[in-house]
Amino acid sequence: MENNMADVAVLSKRGSDRIVIDDDWPGYSVDLFSHPAHYSGDLDSVIVPHGVIMDRTERLARNIMDDLGDHDLVVLCVLKGGYQFCADLVDKIKALSRNSTRTIPMRVHFIRLKSYMNDQSTEDLHIVGAEDMTFLTGKNVLIVEAIVGTGKTMKTLLKHVEGFRPKMIKVAGLLVKRLPHNTACLPDYIGFEIPNRFVVGYALDYNEYFRDLNHICVISENAKMKYKI
Ligand code: HPA
Ligand code: MG
């Protein structure tokens, strides 16, 4: 009996650690929200509206502080796609610190990885700005990524960061794509699990377009052609 109860507890914890967006959910019609006129016709649907991103990020900030808030924190923002999520997450963490007597010093560092051309992942993965990160030694490190697809970026980065012997490393990913092979390496904090479709907005791009869109949207096939390089 006790074992059964424990199993149920583990299952329900797993089930509640992210918002799951199902494959057959069509998303919201783009016309229900405001968006830049220059992207009219480029978007199929809104799958995560900006307000929902902000609300979920606020909760992730609380979970992160509960786990990491006992020691100096270094936030590693993975550019370019992670800039908006990182800025908003750091804002929410700062708000928690303002309202608490238990506060921690926090640094933010930026690194860049690029692996996408059009909507395809490429082989050559290069880390920029991560050469000398000796300031990570002995610190709690939070890697902040906008999206985890194959998990390849995350694995490369974790290996690199581990080399600087931090006290603890955690990963926050706003979005995780539901793929058959990415279960081995998942972020510790996940905003949303989404279908395996190419999404844009909230700093996520398609060939550098769509970062100036607030909501997370599914790009149209038309737009993939229009902005192809
Ligand atoms: N959109 C934008 N960038 C990405 C994606 C995506 O769906 N997947 C990996 N990088
Ligand atoms: Mg990109």
Q: Which pTM value belongs to this model?
A: 0.89
CA 228 to CA 226: how far, in whole Å? Answer: 6
pLDDT in tens, 1-51: 444 444 444 444 444 699 999 999 999 999 999 999 999 999 999 999 999
> Crossing angle, helix 50-68 and helix 83-98, to 10 degrees?
60
Q: Judge contact between 202 and 216, C-beta under 8 A.
A: yes
| CB 213 near ligand 1, within 6 Å | no
Q: Which residue owns the Cα nearest ligand 1 atom 9?
A: 149
Ligand nearest, relative to CA of residue 218: 1
Cα angle for residues 113, 115, 118 (degrees, 5° grid): 130
Of 204, 205, 215, 224, which is best to mutate to test ligand 1, by the most ligand atoms within 8 angstroms of its C-beta? 204
Distance 228 CA to ligand 2 centre (A): 13
Does residue 103 carry a pLDDT above 90? no
Residue of higher predicted confidence among 101 and 27: 27
Closest listed ligand to the CA of 176: 1
Ligand 1 neighbour 147 (Cβ under 6 A): yes
Q: Which of 198, 217, 219, 224 gets mutated to test ligand 1 (max ligand atoms within 8 A of its CB)?
A: 198
Residues 6+ apart with CB under 8 A from 185: 148, 151, 154, 155, 158
Ligand 1 in contact with 198 (CB < 6 A)? yes
pLDDT at 219 over 50: yes
For the Cβ of 199 lying below 6 angstroms from any atom of ligand 1, the answer is yes
Q: Encoding tokens for residue 7? A: 């199993």
Q: What was the pLDDT predicted at 67? A: 92
Q: In angstroms, rounded to a whole number, what is the distance separating the alpha carbons of residues 43 and 102?
A: 44
- Assess whether the C-beta atom of 174 lies below 6 angstroms from ligand 1: no
**Does the CB atom of residue 53 touch ligand 1 within 6 A?**
no
Task: Tell me the percentage of the chain whose pLDDT exceeds 90.
Answer: 72
User: Using CA atoms, how far apart are residues 182 and 199, in angstroms rounded to an integer?
Assistant: 17
- The predicted pLDDT at position 151 comes to 84
**Residue having the nearest C-alpha atom to atom 1 of ligand 1:** 199
pLDDT over 90 at 123, yes or no: no
Is the complex ipTM more than 0.95?
yes
Is any ligand 1 atom within 6 A of the Cβ of residue 209? no
185, 156 contact by CB (below 8 A): no
Q: Is the CB of 148 under 6 A from ligand 1?
A: no
Pull the structure tokens for residue 53.
């991103």
Radius of gyration of the chain (CA): 18
**Averaged pLDDT for residues 53-76:** 95
Q: Could you identify the atom of ligand 1 that is nearest to the CA of residue 115?
A: 10
pLDDT in tens, 132-173: 899 999 999 999 999 998 888 888 899 999 999 999 999 999
Q: What φ, ψ does residue 147 adopt, rounded to 5°?
A: -145, 140
Question: Residue 19: CB partners within 8 Å, gap ≥ 6?
Answer: 56, 191, 192, 193
